[in-house]
Chains A and B, each alone.
Chain A
Amino acid sequence: MSEPVQNPDELSTLLPMQALLQKRRVASFLASILSLTFCLLVFGGSSTSPAISPGRLSSAHSAMKDDCAQCHTAAEGGFSNWVSHAFDSKTSLADSQRCLKCHPEISTHALSPHGMCPQDLFQLTANAQQKTKLSLSDSDKQSFLQTLAEMTAHKNQDRSLTCSTCHREHHGQKTDLTDLTNQQCQSCHARQFESFAHGHPEFTDFPHERRSRIYFDHAKHLMQYFADEKFAHLLPAGTSATSCTACHQQDSSGRFMVTGGFQQMCANCHTSEITDKVYPGIAFFALPNFSQTESSKVDSVQSEILIGEWPATDGTNNLHALPPFMEMLLADDKLFQHAKQTLGDDAPRRLNYASQKHPAAVEQYLWSIKQLIDEIAQDGEAALERRLGPSYSAVAHMKPSIVESVISMQRVWFPNLMSEVSTQRHGKPPAQSLQVNSLETYRGISAAEHTSGGGWYLSKTDFSIRYRPQGHADRLIKSWIELQARTVPNTDLKPTGIRKQALAKMFQILESPTGSGTVATRGPVSSGRCLKCHTADDPTRNGQLKINWLAFRPTDDNKTLHKFTHAPHLKSRKSETCSSCHILDRNFTSVGTFYRPEFFLRDSENRWAINTNPASAHASGFSRITKANCVNCHNESAVRQSCLTCHNYHSCQSGSN
């Protein structure tokens, strides 16, 4: 008899082995249940568990620690929320918006490629493709890896790019979130190349992808003016004629070389050019040429033209058309406009002759002007505001005001104007036409009104009120230029056509770089010539101008696609100077080339006018900087040559400094 087995464990070992498979299934089931339980415990909460950690944050973000929801929208809910986010392609965009909460400095189009407006990027791409149409040379051939990489090129060009496309977190405290390889940078680019030294396109117009804000001809100044001893005493104090740092100093970042202001840099030579005391200045108000005597010679009916007092303008160099400012003031005077229509635009010069055929029109023409003078003399700026209408009321308050000069005009040339206008209002003609001896009366006015170095004055030569800039940054001239700059042709507040045209004529005068571009007179009259140096940009080509009153100043808004920091280059190689890279183009300046096409163009009447396209390339008198300048140092064997050495990804504007 065999003894029965006592120990159950021993019994189990003797059971058929079919039980093994069953046991394994039980073990597998238990393992699955245990794993599932653990995962549900970890993932089951309403927020992320501390048991989950994809990696340490970089030092820049280390303060966030365990607050995942600061960056991840998925972290705001539990597991079901995670599942929905895991299959939602917009999650990364929502996450990027969280990045931008803390990084508002990135531009409006932060999630567009390069942070640029898609249209701008499209244009930039088109330009770049145009420039780089040349085929690759043998030395520019791509590496095998790059060729393969192109096959998996990023197909996301037309869509938004999320922050995490380039910035990868959770790789440790020492991770540099902005560090990208050249291949990564080139992922989106159609043309790819091996390195800066091999394959990078040649510079086309670097660093002047746009013209400078202030026009300055370096070649002319350095080769002609500064080299001439007679100008030596005019250079800024302590300045060497050949030293670049006399005018250009590093900014606080060391990146840019910025210039000083007008007073420091330019005033010694150019102040007199602005005030132009030898020239008469701009006519804002003028009396037409009308002589009772001359009129009577050609007109037997001269007695019918009853205009009362009128100065002896006969024989003076009066204008052939009324100044634009007067046209603006008389725009709503229907009787005047009717008379003007009858007499023609050049009426001020031919009233004597016109009086034969159109005596009534001549009389009305002159009376309207006298009424205008009277009104301004009586009501001052209120009269100007009334006459200019709501759209141009700002003109009435421009300083210094013209009102005092108009009052002077009335006192000198129309001493009895008030009584004449009063009589005329009561339906009675003036007692008689009188020829005022203007010269005598003129002498009665204080010297300051006609001999000052700048500002308003009465001109006895052409019976006008003229204005000469009082110096650099003259308030009145600047206000007039800004008024036109802000006036967008198609969106203005419906001003009358006459005023709008008059304003345009005024701008034609003020924009003239030669100081001779009045509508009426060819010849130097001096406008201050502001826009000879200060450029006016119309990048959108809609007629609205941005006047560059200041030279380039480094600000956050100046972040462009490329960067160059002067400081390390000036420090690293003592033997090199500015001229190592900035080589004067000796062919740049020659007779007739001062008015560079990137700044000035001929208008329809063959007069010089400003070019409002800022995208015009301009080397400012220097030869174009080539890639060879940089490759000497930035190559495989010397200084680093990664994309990020010279390029910014995030751009706030497409232009350059």
Chain B
Amino acid sequence: MNKQAKRQFFDFGIFLLLCAAVILLNAIWSSRLSHTPVLNGWVLLAMILSLAAYQVRKQIQTLPFLSLGSLSTWFRIHKYTGLLSCLVFGLHINFRIPNGTFECLLAGLYLGVFFSGVAGLLLTRLIPPRLASTGAKVLFERIPQQVQQLGEEVENIVFENMPRSESTIIPEIYANQLRSFFRKPRSILLHLLQSGRPPQLLLVQLRGQQRALSANEQAVMQEITNRVTIKNDLDYQFTLQGMLRVWLFVHVPLTYALLVFSIFHAVLAGAFTGGN
């Protein structure tokens, strides 16, 4: 068992212990005259705040006189606290659908944050190996520039060879298919589904034209085909790397909404359970 596996095993063990502790504590509260929903509600709010603090930690690199811990440690805590919060949430709502509109929205927000977080966790587990398998190291932020550059190169190739061309096949293919292909990422969904179909279709179509082209035109077409393949690989990278970023568009804004709703809910609960 390597070091990382040992750490994951340790983390999971701690997580299971905490789950047991939460269930036991809830059982004790329920067996007493304690306001169990109020108490586990406070626990849940504390967990939500600590989960949200991870976003703040990402913004702060260091603090004077205080060690914040590594970001990876924060992520480990964030991950298991998030999972544990689902158990506390279930106990808080007693595993029932709430009655009021406000309470339903609050529960929906929590579930949205939780499941987007779980989805993010899965994506960070599944996508990196797939990206690594391509062998290419592409910076997500530079993909648009590279795609634009490829588009410009193809356009130049087409226009430079136009006077020497014996037919209008290549310019027509460029105008009808390649121009739009190089303008933005294509076949995102198919890439996400790991389908090899989109590049194959276009490449087959380009290769099908080879017989109608002269030798000079075939050489030009080969250059274009090479760039189509590169663009296709960039699309794949863009799709997968984009997914690693897009889920946060759900997770983070919903977290802010959840915090606002939770604070109002806490005030409401405090006022109507008698200031307990």
> Is there contact, CB below 8 Å, between B272 and A184?
no
**What residue in chain A is nearest B34 (Cβ atoms)?**
A152
User: A35 interface residue, CB < 8 Å from B?
Assistant: yes
- The residues of B that contact A13 with a CB separation of less than 8 Å are 144, 184-185
> Is there contact, CB below 8 Å, between B268 and A82?
yes
Interface residues in B73-123 by Cβ distance below 8 A to A read: 98-103, 105
User: B10 interface residue, CB < 8 Å from A?
Assistant: no
B256 touches which one: A31, A72, A88 (CB < 8 A)?
A31
C-alpha spacing A435/B267, complex, angstroms: 99
B-contact bits for A51-77, CB 8 A (1 contact / 0 none): 111111000000000001000101100
- The residues of B that contact A15 with a CB separation of less than 8 Å are 144
The smallest C-beta distance from A1 to any residue of chain B, in angstroms, reads 7
User: A253 interface residue, CB < 8 Å from B?
Assistant: no
Interface residues in A9-46 by Cβ distance below 8 A to B read: 10, 13-18, 20, 23-24, 27-32, 34-36, 38-39, 42-43
Interface residues in B228-264 by Cβ distance below 8 A to A read: 245, 248-249, 252-257, 259-261, 264
> Is there contact, CB below 8 Å, between A92 and B102?
no
The smallest C-beta distance from B231 to any residue of chain A, in angstroms, reads 13
> Is there contact, CB below 8 Å, between A95 and B274?
yes
> Is there contact, CB below 8 Å, between A149 and B267?
no
**What residue in chain A is nearest B241 (Cβ atoms)?**
A17
The smallest C-beta distance from B256 to any residue of chain A, in angstroms, reads 4
> Is there contact, CB below 8 Å, between A18 and B273?
no
Q: A17-B140, A52-B102 are in contact. Are A89 and B252 (CB under 8 A)?
A: no
Interface residues in B159-209 by Cβ distance below 8 A to A read: 159, 179, 183-185
User: B148 interface residue, CB < 8 Å from A?
Assistant: yes
User: B276 interface residue, CB < 8 Å from A?
Assistant: yes
> Is there contact, CB below 8 Å, between B28 and A92?
no
- The residues of B that contact A81 with a CB separation of less than 8 Å are 271
A-contact bits for B122-151, CB 8 A (1 contact / 0 none): 000000000000000000110111011001
With a 10 A CB-CB cut-off, give which of A2, A10, A31, A81 has the most chain B CB atoms. A31
The smallest C-beta distance from A151 to any residue of chain B, in angstroms, reads 8
Number of B residues with CB within 8 Å of any CB on chain A? 56
**Which one of A158-166, A468-476, A489-497 is at the B interface?**
A158-166
Number of A residues with CB within 8 Å of any CB on chain B? 71
> Is there contact, CB below 8 Å, between B270 and A85?
yes
> Is there contact, CB below 8 Å, between A154 and B271?
no
The smallest C-beta distance from B49 to any residue of chain A, in angstroms, reads 15
> Is there contact, CB below 8 Å, between A1 and B159?
yes
User: A553 interface residue, CB < 8 Å from B?
Assistant: no
User: B27 interface residue, CB < 8 Å from A?
Assistant: yes
**What residue in chain A is nearest B248 (Cβ atoms)?**
A24
> Is there contact, CB below 8 Å, between B102 and A42?
yes
The smallest C-beta distance from A87 to any residue of chain B, in angstroms, reads 6
> Is there contact, CB below 8 Å, between A145 and B31?
yes
> Is there contact, CB below 8 Å, between A92 and B253?
no
- The residues of A that contact B179 with a CB separation of less than 8 Å are 3
C-alpha spacing A54/B271, complex, angstroms: 12
**What residue in chain A is nearest B147 (Cβ atoms)?**
A14
User: A586 interface residue, CB < 8 Å from B?
Assistant: no
- The residues of B that contact A264 with a CB separation of less than 8 Å are none
With a 10 A CB-CB cut-off, give which of B100, B105, B268, B274 has the most chain A CB atoms. B274
A-contact bits for B209-232, CB 8 A (1 contact / 0 none): 000000000000000000000000
A-contact bits for B6-31, CB 8 A (1 contact / 0 none): 00000000000000000010011101
**What residue in chain B is nearest A9 (Cβ atoms)?**
B184
User: A79 interface residue, CB < 8 Å from B?
Assistant: yes
- The residues of A that contact B28 with a CB separation of less than 8 Å are 145, 148-149, 152
With a 10 A CB-CB cut-off, give which of A7, A91, A153 has the most chain B CB atoms. A91
B-contact bits for A127-166, CB 8 A (1 contact / 0 none): 0000000000000000001001100111000000010111
With a 10 A CB-CB cut-off, give which of A20, A28, A56 has the most chain B CB atoms. A28
C-alpha spacing A94/B245, complex, angstroms: 51
- The residues of B that contact A154 with a CB separation of less than 8 Å are 32-33
> Is there contact, CB below 8 Å, between A184 and B271?
no
User: A391 interface residue, CB < 8 Å from B?
Assistant: no
- The residues of B that contact A53 with a CB separation of less than 8 Å are 98-103
- The residues of B that contact A10 with a CB separation of less than 8 Å are 183-184
Interface residues in A162-190 by Cβ distance below 8 A to B read: 162, 164-166, 168, 181, 183-184, 187-188
User: A90 interface residue, CB < 8 Å from B?
Assistant: yes
The smallest C-beta distance from B18 to any residue of chain A, in angstroms, reads 17
User: B275 interface residue, CB < 8 Å from A?
Assistant: yes
> Is there contact, CB below 8 Å, between B99 and A54?
yes
> Is there contact, CB below 8 Å, between B253 and A27?
yes
> Is there contact, CB below 8 Å, between B33 and A187?
yes
> Is there contact, CB below 8 Å, between A85 and B33?
no
- The residues of A that contact B31 with a CB separation of less than 8 Å are 145, 149, 181, 183-184
B267 touches which one: A83, A94, A162, A166 (CB < 8 A)?
A83
> Is there contact, CB below 8 Å, between A35 and B183?
no
Q: A23-B249, A149-B31, A184-B33 are in contact. Are A85 and B275 (CB under 8 A)?
A: yes
> Is there contact, CB below 8 Å, between B183 and A5?
yes
**What residue in chain A is nearest B253 (Cβ atoms)?**
A31
The smallest C-beta distance from A199 to any residue of chain B, in angstroms, reads 16
B275 touches which one: A14, A30, A86, A148 (CB < 8 A)?
A86
- The residues of B that contact A49 with a CB separation of less than 8 Å are 102
A36 touches which one: B105, B260, B268, B270 (CB < 8 A)?
B260
Q: A43-B268, A90-B275, A152-B34 are in contact. Are A35 and B103 (CB under 8 A)?
A: no
> Is there contact, CB below 8 Å, between A35 and B260?
yes
> Is there contact, CB below 8 Å, between A74 and B271?
yes
- The residues of A that contact B245 with a CB separation of less than 8 Å are 17, 20
> Is there contact, CB below 8 Å, between B148 and A14?
yes
- The residues of A that contact B27 with a CB separation of less than 8 Å are 145
**What residue in chain B is nearest A166 (Cβ atoms)?**
B33
C-alpha spacing A135/B206, complex, angstroms: 94
> Is there contact, CB below 8 Å, between B140 and A24?
no
**What residue in chain B is nearest A43 (Cβ atoms)?**
B264
> Is there contact, CB below 8 Å, between B270 and A87?
yes
> Is there contact, CB below 8 Å, between A24 and B253?
yes
B32 touches which one: A14, A27, A28, A149 (CB < 8 A)?
A149
C-alpha spacing A89/B275, complex, angstroms: 5
- The residues of A that contact B264 with a CB separation of less than 8 Å are 39, 42-43
**What residue in chain B is nearest A89 (Cβ atoms)?**
B275
- The residues of B that contact A54 with a CB separation of less than 8 Å are 99-100, 103, 269, 272
- The residues of A that contact B99 with a CB separation of less than 8 Å are 53-56
A-contact bits for B26-57, CB 8 A (1 contact / 0 none): 01110111110000000000000000000000
- The residues of A that contact B156 with a CB separation of less than 8 Å are 2
C-alpha spacing A92/B100, complex, angstroms: 23
- The residues of A that contact B105 with a CB separation of less than 8 Å are 38
> Is there contact, CB below 8 Å, between B271 and A30?
no
- The residues of A that contact B144 with a CB separation of less than 8 Å are 13-17
Q: A31-B257, A53-B103 are in contact. Are A2 and B272 (CB under 8 A)?
A: no
> Is there contact, CB below 8 Å, between B103 and A52?
yes
> Is there contact, CB below 8 Å, between B276 and A92?
yes
A residues near B, CB below 8 A?
Answer: 1-3, 5, 7, 10, 13-18, 20, 23-24, 27-32, 34-36, 38-39, 42-43, 49-56, 68, 72, 74-75, 79, 81-83, 85-95, 145, 148-149, 152-154, 162, 164-166, 168, 181, 183-184, 187-188
User: Can you report 19 A-B residue pairs in the complex whose CB atoms are below 8 A from each other?
Assistant: A2-B152, A7-B183, A24-B252, A24-B253, A27-B252, A35-B260, A43-B268, A53-B103, A55-B98, A55-B99, A82-B270, A85-B272, A86-B266, A92-B275, A149-B32, A152-B34, A154-B32, A187-B32, A187-B33
Given A36-B260, A53-B101, A152-B32, 11 additional A-B pairs, CB 8 A: A10-B183, A13-B185, A31-B253, A32-B253, A35-B257, A38-B105, A49-B102, A51-B101, A55-B99, A82-B267, A152-B29
B residues near A, CB below 8 A?
Answer: 24, 27-29, 31-35, 98-103, 105, 140-141, 143-145, 147-148, 151-152, 155-156, 159, 179, 183-185, 245, 248-249, 252-257, 259-261, 264, 266-276
Interchain residue pairs A-B with the least CB separation, the first 8 = A92-B274, A86-B270, A53-B100, A31-B253, A74-B271, A82-B271, A91-B275, A183-B31
